[in-house]
Every structure is written in structure tokens, then in C-alpha cells.
Amino acid sequence: MPFLRPSPWFVFLSLSLASLAAEPPLRLALSERIVVGVNVNDARAAMAVWGQALVSSSGFHLPADQDWVLPSQAIVNSLRAGKIDLFCITIEELSRVRDAVELDDVIIDDRSSREMLLIVHRDSNIQSLAELRRRSLLIVDSPGTQLADAWLGLELSRAGLPAPAAHFASVARNSKPAQVVLPVFFRQADAAIVPKDVLATMVDLNPQLGQAFRQLSVSPKLISSFFATRRGFPASNRNRLYSYILATRSEPANRQILTLFRSPGYKRCNYSCIQSSIELFENFHRLPSSQKRGKP
């Protein structure tokens, strides 16, 4: 019986399938801190759709037991063990796993950075940080305010004042901006920390708010969270993934993620984009423990 030589297309297809099967699954994760103010089950469902679209477009496959949204310590532990390839984490989480993250090629929110405002009512007699002693403070709890504690702690330290827990009579957080801003407006709370763009949107909807507040302090422009890959992840694979993530306005799954997290889109950049945010957190971390936490 004569020997039959396989078709070149059959050989090509066989090698391609073998290569795909040999490639390890892509492991994705999102920190729970990124979904503050969002139902975690909704976030998991949106991430599942997004993850499936991501791997379909880039040629990867997913593990069968994919867990999309992880508690902060779990994502830190997984990164230390090299068990995650692509992830979205906060600057605070990065401080615990910096050596495991490729920082020269990251993806950030298209707003680039956000300023936070420390505001009081214009008719109050509060003119400085010192005059907030034994007063109440509300903070918008959101992915964009993850560095609020570090920024405020540094501001108080530079003014020669104690840590927030010792300086303020109370500090409370709420994921709904209206529940933070309106109590100051109605004089039910003394001060608030709110992202500048969030307050601007509220003022657009209710111009009366625009004349009601005094800014005691404005933060630098900060990046609180970002997408990255683990150190050692092949650059060619990272390019495949990032190409899809950046196709934000053309892919339905991406639009769903953007809507869920109230983001206009993403952009790719290098370490310089997140350097100032990392340095702010590191400067805060260097403060004495009493200055970081204090006692109420």
C-alpha cells in the first residue's frame, strides 16, 4: 500500500491546535476594591462576559475554575505565587506585590488621573485643616478615592496635625456621592472628600451646589488603580490582550465593563503614569504608625 503524505493544511492545522492546547490558560482577576459601590455578583457576571470576549479575540483560553473578582488579600497572595496573568489592582495592593508586577506597560483609566477635594460649607467658620479638629468627615468610597486616606494623612502630617482618627470626631465612608456631599450642604456634616469630577457632575445637575462649598485642600492628580500583567508574562501576549482592552468603544463586552465602572475608556502607558501615585502612597507608608492611624 503506497504511503500517503499528509496535506500541508492538515499539518498546519494539527500544529496550530497542538500549540493552542499546549498554551497555559489565561488567568484573570479583579480586586474587590475596584468594584466598590458595585454589586459584586454584577461585577462577576460582567467580568465573565468580558473575559470570554477577551480570550476569544486574542486566542487564549480560560481555566475551568476561573474566579473573576477576588478579595484584596487573595489577589495579593495569588500574585505573589504567580497564579494570575492579567489583573486590575489598587496602588495600595501594588505596594505589597511590586516585584511581581510589570510596571513598564500598564493600562489606566482614560481620565488619566483624578483630583480629590476636601470641602466644607462656605458659610462655616472652618478655614483650615486645624479647624476641622473634632469635626465630622465623610469620604466618597469609590475606586477613584482609594488613595484618600494616604493623601489626607500626609496633608495632616505636613500641617503638624495628628492622624485622621485622632484629628476628626468621626470619619465615615459612603459609595454614593450624594450621601457624602449633601450632608455638608445641609450642615449635617462638617467636611467631605470627593473626586473633583464627581462634584463637577453634581454641580452641573444642581447648580445651587456650586456656590455652597469652600475647598480646603486639593490633592495631586492620582491614579488609584490600573491593569497590568505579572512580571515575566510574554510581551507578545500582553500586546494581544491590551489590543482588545483598548478597543473600548467598539466591543460590546468592553462597553458593559465601562458602564459598570463608570469609566470613559482606557489608555496604555508606562511607569511614569503611576509614579506620582506610588510615591504618594510610599511617603504615607513612611510616616510613623501613630501618624498613619492614631487613636480617636
CB contact at 8 A, 152 and 192: no
Beta strand ranges found along the chain (DSSP E): 28-31, 69-70, 86-90, 106-109, 116-121, 136-140, 170-174, 191-195, 213-218, 225-229, 266-269
Residues 217 and 228 reside in one and the same domain:
no
The DSSP annotation for 25-47 comes to PP-EEEEGGGGTTS-HHHHHHHH
Residues 135 and 210 reside in one and the same domain:
yes
CB contact at 8 A, 115 and 188: no
In-domain check, residue 7: no
The pTM of this model reads 0.84
The DSSP annotation for 139-152 comes to EE-SGGGTTHHHHH
Residues 49 and 195 reside in one and the same domain:
no
In-domain check, residue 95: yes
**pLDDT of 108-117, one tens digit each?**
987 667 899 9
Give the end of a domain, one of 221, 243, 269: 221
Task: Tally the domains of the chain.
Answer: 2
In-domain check, residue 106: yes
By CB neighbour count within 10 A (0-12 exposed, 13-18 middle, 19+ buried), where does 177 fall?
buried
Residues 186 and 59 reside in one and the same domain:
no
Residues 196 and 236 reside in one and the same domain:
no
Determine the 3-state secondary structure of 190 from DSSP.
coil
Residues 105 and 227 reside in one and the same domain:
yes
Give the end of a domain, one of 170, 200, 221: 221
Of 11-15, 24-28, 33-37, 140-144, the one with minimum mean pLDDT is: 11-15
The whole-number pLDDT of residue 296 equals 39
For residue 198, the domain's CATH number is 3.40.190.10
Range of the domain at 175: 116-221
Residues 66 and 131 reside in one and the same domain:
no
Say how far apart CA 145 and CA 197 lie, in whole Å.
12
Residues 35 and 63 reside in one and the same domain:
yes
Region for residue 16 given its phi and psi (left: phi exceeds 0; alpha: psi -120 to 50; beta: otherwise): alpha
Three cell numbers, residue 72: 484584596
CB contact at 8 A, 293 and 159: no
Mean pLDDT of the chain: 86
Q: Name the residue with higher pLDDT: 152 or 16.
A: 152
In-domain check, residue 8: no
In-domain check, residue 10: no
The whole-number pLDDT of residue 249 equals 65
Residues 206 and 155 reside in one and the same domain:
yes
In-domain check, residue 54: yes
Determine the 3-state secondary structure of 116 from DSSP.
strand
The closest alpha carbon to 206, from 224, 222, 186, 220, belongs to: 186
CB contact at 8 A, 49 and 62: no
**pLDDT of 60-96, one tens digit each?**
888 877 888 999 999 999 999 999 999 999 999 999 9
- Give the best-scoring range by mean pLDDT among 8-22, 29-43, 74-88, 258-272: 74-88
Say how far apart CA 56 and CA 107 lie, in whole Å.
20
The DSSP annotation for 165-179 comes to HHHSSEEEEESSTHH
Average pLDDT in the 165-174 region? 96
**pLDDT of 193-226, one tens digit each?**
999 999 999 999 999 998 999 999 999 999 989 9
In-domain check, residue 4: no
Residues 123 and 203 reside in one and the same domain:
yes
Give the end of a domain, one of 221, 240, 266: 221
The whole-number pLDDT of residue 52 equals 85
Length of the chain, in residues: 296
Residues 276 and 156 reside in one and the same domain:
no
In-domain check, residue 204: yes
Q: Name the residue with higher pLDDT: 271 or 5.
A: 271
Residues 146 and 195 reside in one and the same domain:
yes
